[in-house]
Amino acid sequence: MHSGGDSCLVAGACLGIALKWVSLPDTSAPQAKRQMQSANYPTVYPPMEYKASLDSFAKVITAGTVLLFLALGYKSVKALAAAPNDMTTLLIHGGLLLFMAAILLGCYLYAPQSYRVGANYLEIVRPAQNKRINFTDIREIRALAGPEMNGVIRTFGVGGLFGYFGKYYSPGLGSMTFYATQRNNRLIIETRQGKKMILTPDNPQLLEHLEAQLATKR
């Protein structure tokens, strides 16, 4: 007897719910945007590695230094063999061999080889000891414009032998730590502690990848 009225009530309720659903603001839009931004870089995955190859200048400096040290080392070995009991010869040429070996080994062990992006960190891969930067410590990352590097000087670092790394300074940016292997594709990372770091990946998409990962952490 009341089936027609009940049907109308149900239909009205469904229509009201539908209208309410349509009128609700889309609060998921920012989240959807973040998901789209990081769609190509999921937060759970094996770490992705970006190569860091030497540029032509660094290759020339590295090859030239190695060849020079080999030539000097050969002469020192000959001198030591010719006068094995001469203390002065031992000190001079033995010390020179140790000095050259320490320079080559030290520079190689701390030269950046690549950059690795994990779920919560960026890692600078080196033969001796990797440098890890947590995403929570990064305040800003951006591409570095050419004029910003005007007047840059090396204060305590390496300028071509296996790369460009160590302490540098420029009037515009102040003190920086380089973890670079070339003079292209420069990225600057500023941490919440006020430190500045320079990276130079072969693939500039590292910047996009890091921005997408950082967006999911904020």
Within a domain: 98 = yes
pLDDT over 90, % of the chain: 65
The phi and psi torsions of 48 (rounded to 5 degrees) equal -100, 135
Within a domain: 2 = no
CA distance 74 to 77: 5
Mean pLDDT score, 22-32: 43
The two structure tokens encoding residue 135: 């995403």
Q: Per mean pLDDT, which range of 2-16, 64-78, 105-119 is the poorest?
A: 2-16
Q: How many domains does the chain have?
A: 1
Mean pLDDT score, 137-143: 94
CA distance 51 to 201: 6
Residue bearing tokens 């300074």: 169
Domain extent, residue 187, equals 42-218
Within a domain: 3 = no
Within a domain: 179 = yes
Stretch (H or E) spanning 198? strand 196-199
Within a domain: 49 = yes
Mean pLDDT score, 146-164: 92
Within a domain: 16 = no
Reported residue count of the chain is: 218
Within a domain: 59 = yes
The two structure tokens encoding residue 141: 């990352």
CATH number at residue 104: 2.30.29.30
Within a domain: 30 = no
Q: What is the 3-state secondary structure (H, E, C) of 11-79?
A: HHHHHHHHHHHHHCCCCCHHHHHHHHHCCCCCCCCCCEEEECCCCHHHHHHHHHHHHHHHHHHHHHHHH
pLDDT bracket for residue 57 (50, 70, 90)? very high
Contact 180/200 with Cβ under 8 angstroms? yes
- Identity of the highest mean pLDDT range in 7-21, 33-47, 90-104, 141-155: 90-104
End-to-end alpha-carbon separation of the chain, Å?
Answer: 59
